[in-house]
Amino acid sequence: MAAVVLFTRLRPGLRAGLAVVIGAVTLTNGAMHVMHVATVRATDSDLTGVLAAASGLLLIGLGAAIPVLHRGESGVTSRRRWANRVTAAVAFTVVAQFFVIPVGVGLVQTHHSRRAVGNPPSTAFRDVTFGSADGLELAGWYHPSENRAAVVIANSAAGDRNGSRRHAALLAAHGYGVLLYDARGTGQSEGSPNGWGWDWRHDIEGALAFLQRQPDVDPDRLGGLGLSTGADVLIEVAATNRALRAVVADGATGRSFADRLPGALNAAFAWPMFTAAQVFSGAVPGKPLRHLVTRVGPTPLLLIAAGSIPGEIELNRRYAEDAGDRVELWTLPRATHITAISEEVAEYERRVIDHLDATLLRGRSGPWAGRAIS
């Protein structure tokens, strides 16, 4: 209501800006409901979500039209009129880049729609449930171990187990017990979603406790494989929980303002994005990854960084430099984020399995040659 009253009292340029900002945020929220209807099924809340998407489009169109169609400039020259319009266009671009888009990202990351969970990688995986460290019930699949070692898979921002079937199949083929599950608020697990993984450490703690209880698993032979957000969270957990004896972090980037790349423009984008995520979720990020990674040792850490996301390789180089001696960094400048398993099939298998085998199957005094950065 306040925005409606304010809108009628503003100058045309400010009216246009307000319409674009509110419209973009409304469209972002509504678009998630549209995607849920298109990919899963319609629920009662999707009706208002679809209407929000339509309203957002209407507001953005109104904001774009006001500077062009406004007729209250009859007292100024044509040159001044067009200068005003160009100024408005530049202002809209800046507002979109450093407010609308980052706030939209913060909204999306904290309001993922649940996706249907498909079939497991094979019939050898069974349905399981277990508790997170803070009391939520999480759902997943478990493949029994054939070598007394087991690996928990932490998924990307979407959170559910759909994106890690191939990784699970790879590990199972080498005899590892494998637990892949839906992070809180995704798939069939309880809780609220957060694509930054700010509360996911409790899920990992619960997953490790589950693996320690399995009769086919040696509790001293547990590893983790994280994808994107899951990679960030495994670094966090490995910094304090020595039950993790080996970690593969595929696609770690940053999960807080403190993890951003240097530069004023990066800061201007990151601050509203992470601030919005905190407001929308009520959660807060943990310690910066650069601080946490220094505490991962003596746990061996394999960092895998692709080139499709700006800054991913640079950030992982920083993490590798800070991590200590038991870290290996594998960079793939032409690969896509967390898809090395399908783009570099043989090399991915070799590096990941060798990394896990070195500690989980041969003991912590396995064939480590110290830091290797390639």
Q: How many CA atoms lie within 13 A of 67 on its CB side?
A: 23
In this structure, are residues 296 and 371 in contact, taking their beta carbons and an 8 Å threshold?
no
For position 84, what pLDDT does the model report?
A: 65
pLDDT at 364: 38
Q: For residue range 68-101, what is the model confidence (pLDDT) as tens digits? A: 665 555 556 777 767 766 776 676 677 666 677 7
List pLDDT tens digits, range 16-70: 656 666 665 565 555 444 444 443 445 555 456 556 556 656 656 666 666 666 5
pLDDT over threshold 90, residue 175? yes
pLDDT at position 104 over 80 = no
Q: How far is 346 from 373, CA to CA, in rounded Å?
A: 19
Most confident of 105-109, 115-119, 197-201, 204-208: 204-208
Helices (H), 239-364: 264-281, 289-292, 312-323, 340-343, 345-356
Contacts 24+ apart (CB under 8 A), 92-101: 92/16, 92/17, 92/20, 92/63, 92/64, 95/17, 95/20, 95/21, 96/20, 96/24, 97/269, 98/268, 98/269, 98/272, 99/21, 99/272, 100/20, 100/21, 100/24, 100/25, 101/24, 101/269
What is the pLDDT at residue 165? 96
End-to-end CA distance of the chain: 57
Position 151 confidence tier, pLDDT thresholds 50, 70, 90: very high
Residue 180, H or E segment: strand 177-181
The CATH label, of 3.30.530.20, 3.30.70.20, 3.40.50.1820, 1.10.287.110, for the domain at 126-258+284-373 is: 3.40.50.1820
| Mean pLDDT over the full length of the chain | 82
Distance between CA atoms of residues 13 and 16, nearest Å: 5
Strand partners, 332: 306
Instruction: In whole angstroms, give the CA distance from residue 314 to residue 27.
Output: 33
Give yes or no for a contact between 349 and 285, defined as CB atoms under 8 angstroms apart. no
Top-confidence residue, 54 or 172: 172
Of residues 114 and 367, more confidence is placed in 114
Nearby residues of 14 by Cβ (< 8 Å), 6 or more positions away = none
What is the structure's pLDDT at 297?
83
Report the SS3 class of residue 302. strand
Percentage of residues of the chain with pLDDT beyond 70? 74
**Over 60: is that where the pLDDT of 171 sits?**
yes
CB 104 within 8 A of CB 25: yes
Average pLDDT over residues 190-196: 92
> What's the Cα-to-Cα distance from 46 to each of 35, 41, 109, 303, rounded to whole Å?
10, 9, 18, 39
CA pair distance 125, 145, nearest whole angstrom = 11
- Return the pLDDT at 359: 92
Per-residue pLDDT, 33: 43
Q: How far is CA 73 from the centre of its chain?
A: 47
Between 21 and 282, where is the model more confident?
282
Domain boundaries, the chain: 2-109, 126-258+284-373
> Which helix (H) or strand (E) segment is 327 a member of?
strand 327-332
The strands making up 244-250's β-sheet, listed across from edge to edge, are 126-131, 137-143, 177-181, 150-154, 222-227, 244-250, 301-306, 327-332, 372-373
Contact (Cβ atoms closer than 8 angstroms) between residue 332 and residue 351:
no
What is the structure's pLDDT at 15?
62
Residue 291's beta-bridge partner residues? Answer: none
